[in-house]
């Protein structure tokens, strides 16, 4: 343990005659420090450490914790908090201070505090999770050397700017509206159809902010969308410093970019959800592209929504927030609806319906699979009519996209004799057959094994693939379309660094005739030769128990349709084909007319009647254990203890149930739903319930971990 303040006074000899008396020893001060403490540790508040001098809140430092030395951040003293050290308590000293760095801004700390409070985590867990991992490995001296090298390599920004295309009439109207409201720091929902030119709006708004000496933050949902957007920004702002922030960067590069942001050297920051915590000292604008995308919700640790925190950050820092999407989330759509139309009226909505350059949205054709002969369905995943449409595109030298949101060759292998299936030994899921490397792979825990030569149960050599994935679909298309250049883009083909960019370059260069892929190719890509998009098996989401499934499916299909017909000269031939067993479903009726507003209106009416978000507010308490009975038993105990508290806050607690994928990596998972008509009431209940959850955890033997998920994406 460190020395107490009273024991630190050093004895001194009497001063020589005529000499200046020594300055009195400075009494050390207590500094609140947040560290990365996991939720189960119970360390929600800042820890006190001794420092020889006062430290500005936001200062990075290293502190001792047990036998280790960890990274920490000096934090703000809470109002009414007593900083005096209790009698009998000896505090440890700060080990090192990162003086070379400016403190993390006050607005950044306020955002972290809000996220920690709202999502029921500790400030330290949130703060340290969004800092570059490389910082944890460096000493103060090493960091100072990095900063010296970084500053030496930075070239002065020139302010040069790329050519500005003339805006369309709709773009001009949107820009005028944004300029008129910029001083009010509003939240604006830009509802622009695919190909309507939303990126040009982002570029011009960023230009306005940068020219005023401020910084712009642009969020994208996935890493694979960052490089092409970065290219657009670099081309428009060749004399400005544009940096990216996402987990796909090397640790050294991520730290370099983060340091440029904190030092105010970066003008524009592009990144995925973690970039919402970028410490920008001169923030002037936040843009969230494809704001509907579920990737903005963190699924591990602090389960925050970057889109929602972007709105909070805009309010905290007094800067405008622009949310863009062709298919907005129903929560954002409801927030942008006027109160007279049943909405919340919190956001401003601007619309761009027309495509740039005279392009039109594709004609949607539904193929009723129930009318096809069984032998056709047995031999191929593609209907004869769709194959004919693909051949027409081949003959004209045009490109097609075939969407199947399931990677691998087949979802499962099975034995025709005994019924054995390729189940995962550690998860309640099937292992997917990947033909290219002859493996069975679990997409939940990662377990990978070679395909057995015969059935493990009965020895039958005739084990067959059941169902289809993108790998099998690619093979069938190559057989059905001789001479066609068939490409595939999914998580399997883009594992290596640079693989995605290489495949996309082939598509843009016209070296691929038919592109097969999952949802990762359905959004954000500008394929100028694409005239046909086909959805092979989209019905699964229509009858899902997850109430958000129709919203996600409609968004995916609308986004995929938007890849076709982006060039005006091909717009009259643009089509989207949907193979479905339920052509009369309301979702497909809205898709045929590209009428997002009608779909949103119908979905919101259903949710209001069912008492679902955005008309009610949810949280999930999740528990993991080696046995399902243990997880559910603990959930029942903490639920029973909270009955009176729940009634007091008018909160409903539902019985615990297993997750849809009940077991992952030998851990049984269960959840308990918490519901309230009032968001503040839900927050008050969760905060009060936290003490019970921590107290009861050690009493349940076998419980591995628990977590609260506020505003969950799936139930």
Q: Which residues are annotated as a binding site for Zn(2+)?
A: 415, 418, 424, 427, 442, 445, 455, 458
> Binding site, residues?
415, 418, 424, 427, 442, 445, 455, 458
Q: Give the residue ranges of DSSP H helices in 290-365.
A: 306-317, 330-336
> Quick one: how far is CA 277 from the chain centroid?
13
Q: Phi then psi for 384, rounded to 5 degrees?
A: -55, -40
Strand, coil or helix: 158: coil
Q: Give the residue ranges of DSSP H helices in 360-455.
A: 374-379, 384-396
Strands (E), 41-177: 47-51, 60-65, 68-74, 96-97
Cα–Cα dist 596/547, whole Å = 18
Closest CA to 529 of 360, 403, 396: 396
Closest CA to 243 of 223, 211, 216, 269: 269
CA distances from 247 to 251, 273, 276, 520 (A): 8, 10, 13, 17
347, 187 Cβ separation under 8 angstroms:
yes
Strand, coil or helix: 191: strand
β-strand pairing of 283-289 with 321-325: parallel
Q: Phi then psi for 527, rounded to 5 degrees?
A: -90, 105
Q: Which residues of 455-468 are buried (b: 16+ CB within 10 A; e: fewer)?
A: beeeeeeebebebb
432, 469 Cβ separation under 8 angstroms:
yes
Q: Phi then psi for 153, rounded to 5 degrees?
A: -90, -15
Strand, coil or helix: 667: strand
Helix, strand and coil content of the chain, in percent to the nearest 5, comes to 35, 20, 40
Q: Is the peptide bond before 614 cis (omega within 30 degrees of 0)?
A: yes
């Amino acid at each position: 343990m460190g020395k107490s303040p009273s024991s630190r006074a050093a004895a001194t000899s009497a001063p020589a005659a005529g000499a200046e008396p020594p300055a009195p020893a400075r009494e050390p001060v207590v500094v609140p420090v947040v560290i990365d403490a996991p939720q189960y540790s119970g360390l929600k508040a800042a820890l006190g450490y001794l420092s020889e001098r006062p430290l500005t809140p936001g200062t990075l430092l290293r502190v001792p914790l047990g036998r280790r030395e960890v990274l920490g951040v000096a934090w703000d003293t809470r109002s009414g908090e007593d900083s005096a050290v209790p009698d009998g308590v000896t505090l440890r000293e700060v080990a090192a201070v990162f003086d070379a760095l400016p403190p993390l801004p006050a607005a950044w700390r306020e955002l972290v505090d809000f996220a920690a409070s709202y999502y029921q985590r500790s400030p330290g867990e949130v703060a340290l999770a969004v800092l570059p991992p490389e910082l944890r490995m460096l000493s103060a001296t090493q960091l100072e050397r990095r900063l010296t090298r970084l500053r030496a390599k930075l070239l002065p920004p020139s302010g040069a700017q790329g050519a500005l295309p003339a805006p369309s009439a709709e773009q001009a109207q949107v820009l005028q509206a944004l300029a008129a409201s910029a001083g009010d720091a509003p939240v604006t929902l830009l509802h622009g159809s695919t190909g309507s030119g939303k990126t040009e709006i982002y570029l011009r708004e960023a230009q306005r902010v940068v020219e005023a000496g401020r910084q712009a933050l642009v969020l994208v949902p996935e890493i694979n969308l960052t490089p092409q957007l970065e290219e657009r920004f670099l081309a428009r702002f060749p004399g400005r410093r544009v940096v990216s922030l996402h987990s796909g960067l090397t640790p050294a590069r991520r730290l370099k970019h983060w340091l440029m942001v904190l030092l105010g050297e970066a003008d524009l920051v592009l990144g995925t959800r973690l970039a919402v915590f970028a410490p920008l000292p001169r923030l002037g604008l936040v843009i969230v592209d494809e704001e509907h995308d579920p990737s903005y919700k963190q699924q591990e640790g602090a389960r925050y929504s970057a889109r929602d925190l972007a709105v909070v950050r805009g309010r905290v820092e007094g800067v405008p927030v622009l949310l863009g999407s062709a298919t907005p989330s129903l929560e954002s759509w409801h927030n942008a609806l006027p109160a007279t139309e049943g909405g919340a009226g919190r956001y401003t909505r601007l619309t761009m319906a027309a495509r740039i350059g005279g392009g039109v949205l594709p004609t949607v054709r539904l193929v009723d699979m129930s009318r096809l002969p069984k032998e056709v369905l047995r031999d191929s995943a593609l209907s004869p009519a769709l194959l004919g449409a693909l051949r027409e595109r081949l003959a004209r030298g045009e490109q097609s996209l075939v969407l199947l949101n399931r990677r691998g060759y087949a979802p499962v292998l099975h034995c025709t004799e005994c019924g054995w299936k390729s189940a995962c030994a550690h998860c309640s899921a099937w292992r997917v057959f990947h033909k290219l490397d002859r493996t069975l792979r679990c997409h939940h825990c990662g377990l990978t094994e070679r395909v057995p030569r015969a059935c493990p149960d009965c020895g039958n050599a005739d084990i067959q693939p059941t169902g289809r994935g993108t790998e099998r679909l690619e093979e069938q298309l190559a057989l059905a379309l001789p001479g066609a250049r068939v490409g595939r883009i999914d998580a399997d083909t883009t594992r290596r660094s640079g693989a995605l960019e290489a495949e996309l370059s082939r598509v843009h260069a016209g070296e691929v005739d038919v592109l097969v892929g999952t949802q990762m190719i359905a959004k954000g890509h500008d394929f100028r030769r694409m005239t046909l998009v086909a959805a092979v098996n989209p019905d699964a989401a229509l009858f899902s128990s997850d109430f958000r499934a129709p919203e996600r499916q409609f968004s995916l299909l609308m986004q995929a349709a938007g890849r076709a017909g982006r060039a005006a000269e091909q717009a009259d031939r643009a089509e989207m084909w949907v193979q479905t067993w339920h052509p009369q479903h309301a979702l497909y009726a809205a898709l045929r007319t590209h009428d997002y507003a009608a779909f949103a209106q119908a979905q919101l009416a259903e949710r209001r009647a069912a008492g679902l978000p955005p008309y009610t507010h949810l949280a999930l308490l999740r528990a993991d254990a080696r046995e399902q009975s243990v997880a559910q038993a603990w959930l029942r105990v903490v639920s029973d203890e909270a009955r009176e508290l729940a009634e007091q806050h008018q909160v409903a607690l539902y019985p615990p149930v297993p997750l849809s994928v009940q077991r992952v990596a030998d851990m049984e998972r269960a959840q308990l739903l918490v519901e309230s008509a009032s968001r503040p009431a839900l927050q008050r209940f969760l905060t009060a319930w936290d003490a019970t959850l921590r107290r009861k955890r050690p009493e349940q033997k076998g419980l591995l971990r628990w977590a609260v998920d506020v505003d969950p994406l799936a139930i």
